[in-house]
Each structure stands twice: as C-alpha cells, then as structure tokens.
Amino acid sequence: MPAGCATMSSPARRAAGLWLVAVTLLLRVPFVPAPTGIDAFLYQSQVRATLDVGALFWVTRPAALWGLVPGTIPAGATTLVAAGSALTGLPLQEYLLLHSPLLALLGTAGFWLLAGEAGGGNRGRWLAAL
C-alpha cells in the first residue's frame, strides 16, 4: 500500500464526525410542545428557586420527585441544571443555552462507544448513535 492511502480516509472521517454532530444537534430542536405541558418559565422559576434556597423546597410529597403532583416537574432535570449552573458559575439563562446541546453530544458519543462494544462496523455505530 502506498504511504498516502492511510491519510486519504482522514477527511472522510472528519466529515462523517461533523455530519454526526450536525444531525445530533438538529434532531434535538423542539418542533412540538413539551410532552409534560410545562411552560419553560415555570421550569426556569423552579430552577432559580432551587438555586436561591439551596434545596428542592417544592417537593412536598415523594411523588413530586417524579413530577406526579400537579404543578411539579421531575426533579432530576431541575437538579442537574441547578447543579450545572452553580458549578460552572454561568447565569441560568446562559447555562440553559449550553445544557441541551452538550448533553446531546455527550449522549451520542456515549452511545457510539457502547455500540462499538456490541460489535459491528463503523456504519452500524454511526447509525446506532443517531
């Protein structure tokens, strides 16, 4: 094999990686309303209250942790956003702009690695990651 053949696939891999990132981010754009019916302002106000108080004070019943009480949302997302905003030092609005794309890319990369452990070629890994 000529020495130049090994470098010919590098631009194709780079293009495939950029394509995966672009499709991953485009698939996360919300085209439909939230399935829980929660307004974004309510979500942000609960995150802001969690940051101000330092506790999930709105969880008055155990079922509220899973969003099963009217007027509540699942506590996992609220806690993750509050912790991310507090740890990075970014204001809540700026962190929310970074939160969804970063988690989408992290999840896609993790599933791509997991699909590689299951076997198959790179095409199967790319398809599974999407």
Q: Which of 20-24, 34-38, 44-48, 79-83 has the lowest mean pLDDT?
A: 34-38
Same domain, 50 and 68: yes
**Phi (first) and psi of residue 66, to 5 degrees:** -105, 10
Q: Which domain holds residue 64?
A: 36-89
Name the residue with tokens 């939160």.
Answer: 99
Residue 17 lies in a domain: no
Same domain, 70 and 43: yes
- Give the pLDDT score at 35: 53
- Give the pLDDT score at 90: 92
The answer to whether residue 88 scores a pLDDT higher than 70 is yes
Same domain, 84 and 101: no
- Give the pLDDT score at 91: 92
Residue 21 lies in a domain: no
Which of residues 20 and 4 earns the better pLDDT score? 20
Name the residue with tokens 């806690």.
Answer: 79
**How much is the mean pLDDT over the chain?**
78
Q: Which of 10-19, 39-48, 99-108, 118-127 has the lowest mean pLDDT?
A: 118-127
Decide: 47 and 85 in contact? Cβ < 8 Å. yes
Q: Which of 103, 106, 105, 126 is nearest to 116 (CA)?
A: 126
Report the number of distinct structural domains present in the chain.
2
Residue 27 lies in a domain: no
Which ranges in the chain belong to alpha helices (H)?
5-27, 40-53, 75-88, 92-118, 122-129
pTM: 0.60
Same domain, 73 and 41: yes
Provide mean pLDDT across the span 28-56.
75
Residue 16 lies in a domain: no
